[in-house]
Amino acid sequence: MESPYEHPYPSPELESEHPFIEYAFERLAGDEMLRRARDFRDGSERRRSIRLFSPDPVPRQLIELAVEAASTAPSGAHKQPWTFVGTRDPEVKAAIRAAAEEEERVNYLENRMNADWLEALEPLGTDHHKEFLEVAPWIVVLFEQRFEQRSDGTTRRNYYVKESTGIAAGMFITAIHRMGLATLTHTPSPMGFLRNLLGRPDNERPFVMFPIGFPLEGTRVPDLRRKSLDEVFVEVDRLG
């Protein structure tokens, strides 16, 4: 079959200077693609953020596998500008909870969050109490690497850091859900205390915190409605 590309990728010049391999791809039958797509959608539909975790332990290997899956995310210039920092240490978790609750207390009770924000959160019933940060067997904090620190002490810029880290976060959540665990995206604002408590370098900034574990038996969640396909997808078939 004749290629539709006038300028193929990689060019012979590029491939002569940098390594490339053939993409290992299996083209599936149409009905199998549809089955997989529906299975994934239906499984994803059951995903929920929870705030009551069981203290039952979670093996480290599961956390590592989720991080490895998330680290397949695309990133600007393939810089992979993220670090996943996990802890199951009770003392560390207690310190994180104390610091997070203090920031959230100011947010909720001292008007650091504006009225519109508080109104939007009202149906969810969230407040400054974050007990789950101690009860959940794991806390994983995802840090974005604002720039690269090299072993010789020099630095180099990273590209599309927030976009890349955000995609990795989504893939991490999906991996956690599909293996049968639950999590919550927790972003106490500001989050600078996490870098200090977890001993991270100056080039890293906390992006989101994930308490991870099994849901406590009988856990209840808000009865939310997700937007319909018509509300989130538009096909454009003409200019303008």
- CB of 148 closer than 8 Å to CB of 158: yes
| Exposure b/e, 13-33, CB count within 10 A at least 16 = b | eeeeeeeeeeeeeeeeeeeee
- CB of 94 closer than 8 Å to CB of 134: yes
The Cα 127–Cα 112 span in angstroms is 13
The Cα 86–Cα 105 span in angstroms is 24
DSSP 120-188: HHGGGT--S--THHHHSSEEEEEEEESEEEPTTS-EEE-BSHHHHHHHHHHHHHHHHHHTT-EE--B--
Does the residue 212 lie in any domain? Answer: yes
Does the residue 11 lie in any domain? Answer: no
Does the residue 102 lie in any domain? Answer: yes
- Residue 151 domain boundaries: 50-217
Does the residue 7 lie in any domain? Answer: no
Does the residue 136 lie in any domain? Answer: yes
- In this prediction, residue 109 carries a pLDDT of 83
- In this prediction, residue 153 carries a pLDDT of 84
The Cα 173–Cα 67 span in angstroms is 10
User: Quick one: tokens of 96?
Assistant: 């994180």
- In this prediction, residue 3 carries a pLDDT of 82
Does the residue 16 lie in any domain? Answer: no
Number of other residues whose CB lies within 10 A of the CB of residue 71: 14
Residue ranges of the chain whose pLDDT lies below 70: none
- In this prediction, residue 41 carries a pLDDT of 96
CATH number of 162's domain: 3.40.109.10
- In this prediction, residue 114 carries a pLDDT of 86
Q: Into how many domains does the chain fold?
A: 1
- In this prediction, residue 213 carries a pLDDT of 98
For the chain, what is the mean pLDDT?
A: 94
